[in-house]
């Protein structure tokens, strides 16, 4: 089990060092996220096309968990519909908060973050990008998005 934990940590550190989709998408829906508990900040960019997430990217600064989570999430979301993205949010949230969940193999690469459920203060780090995504996707309605 400790080998597995080491492997997970390696994946998380790798995504922290070289986050995927770490860029700005011009003209995309932009959503800020902040986790005051840890100081993680990110800006998420979601480009929808016909109800499908065509492209998703992020920028920001934070701890390794928050960055790795955002990196893995953006990989997982491309090509998903808004409904699928929300369903994935629910699955991911259940995985990182449930005490009695088994190995979360059904979430693929995202399951490297299952270990945070042992560390309650880290759950917010891992879920920051996901809460931000949920808000960003919710903007994709027929109503025009106001930036105030």
| Binding region for Zn ion (CB under 5 A) | 38, 40, 63, 66, 125
Residue 38 or 135 with smaller CB distance to Zn ion = 38
Shortest distance, position 91 Cβ to Zn ion, whole Å: 21
Residue 66 or 111 with smaller CB distance to Zn ion = 66
Residue 67 or 134 with smaller CB distance to Zn ion = 67
Shortest distance, position 5 Cβ to Zn ion, whole Å: 19
113 and 96 in contact (C-beta within 8 Å)? yes
Contacts of 127 (CB under 8 A, 6+ apart): 69, 92, 93, 96
Provide, for the chain, the percentages of residues in helix, strand and coil under a 3-state DSSP scheme, each rounded to the nearest 5: 55, 20, 25
Shortest distance, position 41 Cβ to Zn ion, whole Å: 10
d(CA 95, CA 86): 14
């Amino acid at each position: 089990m400790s080998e597995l934990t080491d492997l997970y940590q390696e994946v998380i550190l790798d995504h922290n060092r070289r986050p995927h989709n770490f860029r700005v998408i011009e003209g995309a829906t932009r959503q800020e996220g902040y986790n005051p508990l840890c100081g993680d900040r990110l800006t998420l960019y979601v480009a929808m096309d016909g109800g499908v997430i065509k492209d998703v990217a992020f920028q920001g600064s934070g701890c390794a968990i928050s960055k790795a989570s955002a990196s893995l999430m953006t990989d997982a979301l491309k090509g998903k519909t808004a409904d699928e993205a929300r369903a994935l949010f629910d699955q991911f949230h259940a995985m990182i908060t449930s005490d009695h969940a088994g190995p979360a193999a059904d979430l693929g690469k995202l399951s490297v973050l299952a270990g945070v459920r042992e560390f309650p203060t880290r759950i917010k780090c891992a879920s920051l990008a996901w809460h931000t995504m949920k808000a960003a996707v919710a903007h994709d309605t027929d109503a025009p998005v106001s930036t105030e």
